[in-house]
Amino acid sequence: MRRSLRRLVLPAGLLGLILLLALAAPLLPLADPVRQNIAGRLALPSANFWLGQDEYGRDVLSRILWGARVSLSVALAATIIAAVIGTLLGILGGYFRKFVELVTVRLAEVVLCFPPMLLALLVVTLLGPGAGTLVVSLGILFAPAFACLAYAETLSARALDYVTAQQALGAGPGRILLRTLLPNIAPPLIVQFSLTVASAMVLESGLSFLGLGVVPPSPSWGLMIRGARATMEQAPLLLFWPCLALAGTVLVLNLFCDRLRDALDPRAGGGGPAGFLRRAAALPGPALRKDATPGLLRIRGLTLEITGPRGPVAVVRDVGFSVAPGKTLALVGESGSGKTLTGLAVMGLLPGAVRVASGEILYTSRDGATRDLLRLPEAELRALRGRDLSMVFQDPSSSLNPLLRIGSQVAEALPRAPGRMARVVELFRQVGLPDPEGRARAWPHALSGGQRQRVMIAAAIANHPRLLLADEPTTALDVTVQAQILELLAGLKRSEQGMGMVFVTHNLAVVAQIADRVAVMYAGEVVEEGPVAEVFTAPRHPYTAALIAATPEGEAERLSAIPGAVPQAWAMPAGCRFAPRCSEARPACAQTAPPLQSIGPGRATRCLRWKELA
């Protein structure tokens, strides 16, 4: 059974119990809720009257259960009326727009303008008190909230591709509204339903309390609270029981509808949002490594894990590569290859679920000392971020704060000193922003995508970093703008002396354009590493070869596709991870996981058969 369904059991059981008690009230051996017994006035709980007796000596337990029938039926009936009418108005207005929208949604908005209590009082005064009037007036009162919600949800859902797809299939409006839109806008409406039942119960109690709802002597929770108020000081328990019933029922209803919404979401339980990046806990051990040979960046045996339902799962396994000063290494792979996580691990920032299991990331800083970033305390690592190590992300539109002028955002990366803005302008000029002075005072929304990416690059190089991590920096850009950004990065490599770059991408053609060395990743492992020109002309791993062949270039009539898909992190093949999709696989490949072995100067592959295939 799904987890979300299991979580539904408790509130559903409680709600069922409440409803059952209310329904079964006439069958239970209860005292007559309206029979008065002046002798037992305000009596405390006893064996015969479990919750005591009220100001007329009536049985409180019996009145609570009979009152539940009234309160619940009024609230449920009113909410169902409101939900049906409101949803209908909202969904029609949202789908058809124009005239229908004017009639339905705007009308509902007029009703929303009145204070609810006042409107209810007005209706009840006009029609006279009683349960029937109450249902009608509460229904009218709550319908507009449903209408506005359904309208807003319909507006956002009707623009989605799967609704357009239904239109393209030739479905009529009725079919689209009922089968496609309604189920998909239901979750917020269900939550609204629970909130409305709860407020209807409270409002019913309030109106009854004012003498405008249920007519005495019929029991209702509102009337009971009203009656108990007069004797509050002599018998405080009398006030407590109806309040408990009211609050308890409302809470159970809210919980039930919340869980129901989760249970109706087919994607529930599949991960959840990635959340903030945070510092992965530093591994134990000394960070300073005197024995290591200095280089700019050397990663060895990096393994990152997430905790799956069946124990830890390695999403990045035994990854190693190195970057020399002034050189660019491209990390290339498809989605799920672990290339982005590897890049983030260097910055010491990982999504909450990911843990560093083992490995080392050796970085040689300006003073010549080599430190292991995985073992460096956060304070020292923070001192490196933004100065020695900096990063450019994929989506330039979401990485700038829309409420700050871009000049001040870039200035934040610089140390506080006079002339900071002059340095920002100089940086903007360096990254080729037109009108750098004017741009420094501009807001992010005034810039195009390519210009925003230039701003992000300006911030990243503000402190002359020694290592720049670029995570798919051109993927969100148009081709002609991509060419500009690639040229800018190539130019920076020349002007920023000795700056190394790790360029994460899925695009082999971009790799050929920008990188000196390439590490090809597949399913969390580096499968091949070497100089770009060599790897592309003579790949030594079947995956690299297949990826090159699958790239739509050249004159071949038919693209050679790689069959199948990347395996899921928790269902990795036992041997070589590429074996199930590999055209060159032999039985041995499925049994032993090949190590990354050196096959020549600066080249390595993770294939058992590389010699035969070469």
Partner 1 sequence: MNALSPPGISAAPLLRGENLSRSFGGGGWFGRGRPILAVRGVDLHLARGEALGVVGESGCGKSTLGRLLLNLLPPTSGKVVFEGEALDALPAGKLRALRRRMQMVFQDPYGSLDPRRSVGAQIADGLLIHRMADATGAAARVAELLRQTGLEPAHAMRLPHEFSGGQRQRIAIARALATRPDFIVADEPVSALDVSIQAQIVNLLADLRSELGLALLFISHDLHVVRHLCDRVMVMYLGRVVEQGSAAAIFAAPAHPYTRALLEATPSMRHPVTAAPLPGEVPSVANPPSGCPFRTRCPAAESRCAEAMPPLEAHPADASRQLACWRAAELA
Interface segment toward partner 1; rule CB under 8 A; list 77-85, 201-209, 345-353, 479-487? 479-487
* Burial class of 5 by CB neighbour count within 10 A (0 to 12, 13 to 18, 19+): middle
Interface segment toward partner 1; rule CB under 8 A; list 177-185, 402-410, 417-425, 586-594? 177-185
* Position among 21, 506, 580, 584 found at the interface with partner 1 (CB under 8 A): 506
Interface segment toward partner 1; rule CB under 8 A; list 36-44, 205-213, 217-225, 484-492? 484-492
* Closer of 399 and 507 to partner 1 (Cβ): 507
- Phi/psi of residue 594, each to 5°? -70, 145
Q: Is 487 in the site for partner 1 (CB under 8 A)?
A: yes
Binding residues for partner 1, rule CB under 8 A, total 62
Amino acid at 135: V
Q: Is 479 in the site for partner 1 (CB under 8 A)?
A: yes
Q: Is 180 in the site for partner 1 (CB under 8 A)?
A: yes
Q: Is 267 in the site for partner 1 (CB under 8 A)?
A: yes
Closest by CA to 151, choosing from 124, 118, 189, is 189
Contact between 468 and 323 under an 8 Å Cβ cutoff? The reply is no
Interface segment toward partner 1; rule CB under 8 A; list 178-186, 365-373, 455-463, 594-602? 178-186
* Position among 103, 484, 516, 573 found at the interface with partner 1 (CB under 8 A): 484
CB of 563 to partner 1, least distance (A): 8
| C-alpha to C-alpha distance for 119 and 143, rounded to whole angstroms | 13
| C-alpha to C-alpha distance for 485 and 501, rounded to whole angstroms | 14
Give residues 533-592 in contact with partner 1 (rule: CB under 8 A): 536, 546-548, 550-554, 558-563, 565-566
Contact between 555 and 534 under an 8 Å Cβ cutoff? The reply is no
The side-by-side arrangement of strands in the sheet containing 525-531 is: 389-392, 467-471, 500-505, 328-332, 517-522, 525-531, 603-605, 597-600
Sign of CA dihedral 259, 262, 268, 271: negative
Query: Quick one: DSSP state of residue 326?
Result: T
Q: Is 38 in the site for partner 1 (CB under 8 A)?
A: no
* Closer of 13 and 183 to partner 1 (Cβ): 183
Tokens read off for 59: 């049985």
| C-alpha to C-alpha distance for 421 and 462, rounded to whole angstroms | 12
CB of 63 to partner 1, least distance (A): 44
Q: Where are the alpha helices (DSSP H) in 373-462?
A: 378-384, 406-411, 420-430, 436-440, 449-460
Return the residue matching tokens 């002609």: 480
Q: Is 334 in the site for partner 1 (CB under 8 A)?
A: yes
Q: Is 512 in the site for partner 1 (CB under 8 A)?
A: yes
Give residues 366-395 in contact with partner 1 (rule: CB under 8 A): none
Q: Is 174 in the site for partner 1 (CB under 8 A)?
A: no
Q: Is 271 in the site for partner 1 (CB under 8 A)?
A: no
Q: How many helices (H) and strands (E) does the chain have?
A: 23, 14
* Position among 161, 233, 367, 612 found at the interface with partner 1 (CB under 8 A): 161
Q: Is 164 in the site for partner 1 (CB under 8 A)?
A: yes
Residues of this chain that bind partner 1 (CB under 8 A) = 160-162, 164-172, 175, 179-180, 183-184, 264, 266-267, 270, 334-335, 434, 448-451, 478-484, 486-487, 506-513, 536, 546-548, 550-554, 558-563, 565-566
